[in-house]
Structure 1
Amino acid sequence: MQVRTHLLTLLMTLVFSQLTFADSSHDNSQANVKRIGQHFSAVQLGPRPFFLVNDMDEGALKDRLSRCGKGPFRPSTFSIGHRGAALQFPEHTRESYVAAAKMGAGIIECDVTFTKDRELVCRHSQCDLHTTTNILATPLASKCSVPPEFDQNGVLTNAKAIQCCTSDITLAEFKTLEGKMDAANTAATSIEEYMDATPSFRTDLYSAHGTLMTHAEYIALVDDLGADFTPELKTPSVTMPFEGDYTQADFAQQMINEYRSAGIHPRRVWAQSFDFDDILYWNQNEPWFARQAVYLDGSEDASTSLEQMQQWKADGMKVLAPPMWMLLDVNENGDIVPSQYAKNAKAAGLKLITWTLERSGLLKDNGGYYYQSVNGSLGKADVIDNDGDTFTVLDVLAKQVGVIGVFSDWPATTTFYANCMNL
C-alpha cells in the first residue's frame, strides 16, 4: 500500500512538472499557471475554401480536397491568424481576432509595440496609426509625429509625410481610437480621401468601430477563445532607449512578463522578432519562452547558406520564419518545389513557419510579393494562374518544405487544408 501511494505521488509530481514552467528566477506557484488551452469555439469556415477548391486545376490534390467538404472541422495550430483575419476585418482588432478563432486559427498574432506611457498594445507598426486607425479624424491627429497640414483653403498638403505613432499618445488616448483597414491614399488632398483607400481585394464592410486591443487584453481574449499566442516584438520606430531609459531589453522582458502575469504556459507562446538580438535576449533570460521563439527573416536573401543557418541554430534559434516565396522554387518541369533556402533550413535542423497566405490580390494577376519565386518575377517559370493555386502552394509548403505553421489573412483556408490533411 505504501509503495502504491509513493508511486502515485511520484506520478502526480511528474504530471504537474509538465504543466508548470519552473525556472529559479521567477515565481512559479500553481496559482500562477494555467493548462494549455483547449476550449476552442466551433469552427466555421464559410465558402472561401470551397471556392478555391473549385477553382483548382484538375488533379489528385483537387480530388483529395474535394472529399473534405463535409467536415466536421477543428482548430489547428498549423493555421495562424495573421493579425487576426485581416483579409476582411481590420487587423489587430477584437473583431479580427474573434473571426480568426471562429475560422479555426489555433494560433493568433499580436504585433506588440508601446505607447507614450510604455504600455504594450497590438499594432503592426509603432508608427501606423495614420493608416490603421481613425486618428486623423480625431483631435489626437495634432499629437502625431508628423500631423496633417493644410493650406489656407483647407487642402491637405503633406499626405505623403503624415506619421502617427503609438508612442505619440498615451494608452488612454489609444483606447479612444477605432481600427480600420490598413490603407492610405498618399496623393489625397483631404483627410477623407486619405483614409478611403482600402485595396480592392479587401472590404470595408466590417471596418466600422474596430476595437483596438492592448497586449494584455489580447492575451485574455485569445486565452478565452482557446487559441495559442504568437506575439511579435516590433522593431521600435523611435530611438531606443525611449526617452533615455526604456531599453530594448526592457521592452522584450515586458512582453514576456505579461504572459507570466496572466499565467500562460510558455508552450502556448511563440514569441517572434525580426531582430535576432531579441531571440538571443530571450535565450539568455527567458529560456522557457525561448524554446519556440521565432526568428522572422526579413532579409529577402534566399541564398542564405547552410553554414549561416547552422550558426543560427548554434546560437539558440529553433524556429525560422521567412516569407513564403523564399521557401519555394520552380524546377525544370515547371513544378513548385522547395528552394535551396528551405533545404538548408531542414539540414540545419530548424523548424519552419512562413508568411503570409491570402495577403495578395488575385493569383491570376501573379499574386505579387509573396509569390515572386513562382510567378515569373525572379526569372523562373510563371506557374500560378488562378486562385485555386493557393492550395497548390500550401500543399508544397506543408508536404515538401515541411512547415509547421502558415500565417494567413484568412485562416479558414489554412484550417480547411490542415483538417483535410490531418495536420
Structure 2
Amino acid sequence: MADRRQVLRFGAVAAAAPALTGAASAPAWAADRGPSRTRPLVVGHRGASGYRPEHTLASYELAARLGADYMEPDLVATKDGVLVCRHEPEIGGTTDVAARPEFAGRKRTVSLDGVSVTGWFTHDFTLAELKTLRATERIPAVRQRNTLYDGRFEVPTFQEVLDLRKRLSKELDREVGVFPETKHPTYFRRLGLELEKPLVRVLRRNGLDRRGAKVFIQSFEAVNLRALADEHRVEVPLVFLTGAAGSPFEDPRSYADYLTPAGLKELSQYVDGLGPEKGQIIPRKADGALGSPTRLVADAHGAGLTVIPYTFRAENSFLPAELRVGTDPAAYGKAIDEQVTFLRTGIDGLFTDNPDIGALARTLL
C-alpha cells in the first residue's frame, strides 16, 4: 500500500523520479497539474451551481462546457442502496418533495452526525420514488435566476453522471474528470447503507478505478478514506476535506490537528490531497477583508499532498469585503480577483460554483 501511495501521490512521481512524469502509470491529473504548478485544476462544485440548480445533470454538463476539468458529485444513498447526487441526505431544500402530498408522511427528524435535522431523507425513498421528484434551487434568495430551472431536472444517479462524463469527453475532445464525495459515510453505514462498496463497484464497472483515471474521491472523514485505501484498495487519489473548525464525526482528532506538519505526514500515508476550507489558506481579518496566507500550502506540499480549497463563488455575500461591489449581497463582486489571489498561493486547484471564472483566473497567473 505504501508503495502504491508513493506512486499516486501528487508531486511524488516527479520529485522522486522525474523520468516517470510522462509514464503510463502516472495519474492523468499529473499532466494537468504537475510539480511545476503551471495549470491549476478547476473543479465544478456541484456542477456549475452558480448557474443551474446544484447536483443536476444540467449543472454538471454546463460545468464541463465552461471549462471545468472535473465535475463534483456529492453522493448519498437511496433506500434501495443506489448512489444519487445530493449535497445532503435531507432533500427538502433541494427538491420539490415538500409540495408532494404523497410524501408528506415521510417527513421526520433524524440525528445527522449529532445534529437534529428535520425533513425528507434520501434513505427513506427508493430510486424510483426519487425519480418522481424534481430539483430546486437551494439558495433562491441569492440565486434567483437559478429558480427559472426549478422543476426541470431529476435527481441523477452516480452512474448517470459517469455516462454524462463519457459523452462529454467525446464531444469536447478532452477527458472530463469526476470528483465524487462520500457524504456522511458513518451515518449511512449505521443505516446499513455503506457508501464505500457501491462507489468502488460503480467506478470499477466503468473502468475508472485505475491509475491514470481522471478521478478523485473525497471525504470529510479520515476513517472513510483509510477504509477506501486499505480495505478497498482503490487505485485513484484520495482527498481529505477539512473544516476551519471542529473535527470529523466521532473522530477524537480535530481538523487543526490533522493539518499540523506531523498530521499531514501521517495523512500522506493513505491520502493524496487536501480539500481545505479556503479560509484555511487565506483567513479573513476582523473587518472581513483577506488577511495573510497561512503555511498550509507549503506544509501540505512538503508532505507530498495536493491542495484544492473550497468554495469560490461570485456573489458579494461570499466574497471578502474588499472585493464586494455595491451593497446587494446577490450581486456579483470581483470574484476573478479573489480566485487569482488564492491561485498565487500555489494551490493546485479550486472548487468553484462558477467554472468559467476559475478557467479564466488560471490564465491570469
TM range (shorter): 0.7 to 0.9
Partners of 2:347 and 2:337 in 1: how far apart?
Answer: 14
Report deviation, 1:357: 0.7
2:219 pairs with 1:264: no
Instruction: Flag the structure with larger Rg.
Output: 1
Per the alignment, residue 157 of structure 2 pairs with: 214
CA distance in 1, matches of 2:75, 2:284: 36
Map residues 204-283 of structure 1 onto 2, 5 A cutoff.
204-226=147-169, 227-236=176-185, 238=187, 240-242=189-191, 246=192, 248=194, 251-264=195-208, 266=210, 267-283=213-229
The amino acid that maps onto 1:391 is I
CA distance in structure 1 between the aligned counterparts of 2:207 and 2:260, rounded to whole angstroms: 39
Does residue 80 of the first structure (1) align with residue 43 of the second (2)? Answer: yes
> CA-to-partner distance for each residue in 1:14-70, whole Å, 9 max, x for gaps?
xxx93799xxxxxxxxxxxxx99xxxxxxxxxxxxxxxxxxxxxxxxxxxxxxxxxx
Deviation at 1:202, TM superposition (A): 4.2
* Distance verdict in 2 for CA 1:241–1:385, change over 3 Å: closer
- Alignment check: 8 A CA contact 1:145 1:168 kept: no
- The answer on whether the counterparts of 2:244 and 2:277 sit within 8 Å (CA) in structure 1 is no
Pair 1:307 & 2:307 matched: no
Q: 1:412 to 1:86 in 2, by over 3 A?
A: same
Please tell me whether the aligned partners of residues 40 and 347 of structure 2 are also in contact (alpha carbons under 8 angstroms).
Answer: no
Of all paired residues, the percent bearing the same amino acid is 24
Partners in 2 of 1:89 and 1:306 — Cα distance?
A: 39
Q: In 2, Cα distance between the equivalents of 1:170 and 1:414? A: 36
| Number of residues of Structure 1 aligned to a counterpart in Structure 2 | 302
Residue in structure 1 matched with residue 340 of structure 2 by the alignment: 395
**Corresponding residue for 2:3?**
none
Residue 50 of structure 2: SS of its match in structure 1?
coil
User: Which portions of structure 1, spanning 4 or more consecutive aligned residues, are displaced by more than 6 angstroms?
Assistant: none
CA distance 1:119–1:247, change in 2 (3 Å): closer
Q: For the residues of structure 2 that align with 1:144 and 1:361, how far apart are their CA atoms?
A: 35
- Name the counterpart of 1:199: 141
The Cα shift of 1:77 comes to 7.0
Separation of aligned partners in 2, 1:398 and 1:391: 11
Distance 1:110 1:404, change over 3 A: same
Q: 1:110 aligns with which of 73, 79, 89?
A: 73
Q: Distance in 2 between matches of 1:18 and 1:93?
A: 33
> What is the TM-score normalised by the length of structure 2?
0.73
Aligned to 1:352: 307
- 1:82 Cα deviation after fit: 0.6
One-letter identity of the residue aligned with 1:84: G
* Pair 393,20 (structure 1): closer, same or farther in 2 beyond 3 Å: closer
Residues 1:335 and 1:298: Cα distance change in structure 2 (over 3 Å): closer
Structure 1 unaligned runs (5+)?
1-16, 22-34, 37-75, 148-159, 184-197, 376-382
TM-superposed deviation, 1:388 = 5.3
Q: Structure 2: how far apart are the matches of 1:229 and 1:82?
A: 11
Paired residue secondary structure (1:356): coil
